[in-house]
Structure 1
Amino acid sequence: MSDSNFKNALQGMLNKKETPNSILNKSIRFSITLTNLQNKRLEILTSKLSTSKQDFIQTIIEAALRDIESELGLIDAKDYTQLGDLNLHYRTKYIREIVASLGISEDEWENLVESARD
């Protein structure tokens, strides 16, 4: 392998800048501990639904987050698009808190929301 291939690859990684969109779509891993009973129930359900445990849990977590946010009055269900993507204006304290914790500016967020509408 030539030296220049490595240098080019390394330079590409060093110059890579995260965009607001890449920040939102970045996957974060965490672990969860289940009882054996919970795990078996999960395995059987996912088998019956022909899906993976990961996809099933992601779907359940997203649905639960939306329900809880709505129940607490933090968001309105109409703030979500049909595709399930967050399409929220930078108007509530809750959304500003989420966006700020992601390191995305108000203008960057509004640009993301506008581009999602197009």
Structure 2
Amino acid sequence: MTEKEYKTTKKAGLQDIEKSQFQLLEQVKDLKHQLKQKTDECNALQDKLTTKTTEHEEKLKKMREIFGQATKSIDNYRATIASQKKEIEELKCQLEEYQAKEEKYNIDLTSNQCNSSMIIQVVFY
């Protein structure tokens, strides 16, 4: 190989290396750009996830408050119902007592009327 051929070959080799190096640099730039886009997209999704998570936690907190209030109301209603049932039972007992007293009073009244009637009949006859 002559010196001229050597220089030409060397020059062509250097050009190939420079061309490959340029292509690799462009690929690196492109990959960096893609990485930045994906990183930005990932950050945006992370922000959206954080926002949605916060919204869901707030809704969950409100729902827990509502369920807590509902549970408290139900407990109050149950207590009221139990109290009213007790009151109803007491009133039934009182009613039975009064009915028994009324029946005794009616029996006594009837007996007294019969006795009075007999006394009147005895006195007049």
- Aligning the two structures, in what range does the TM-score lie when normalised by the shorter sequence? under 0.3
Determine which structure has the larger helix proportion and give its number: 2
TM-score by structure 1 length? Answer: 0.19
TM-score by structure 2 length? Answer: 0.18
Higher relative contact order (CA 8 A, sep 6+): 1
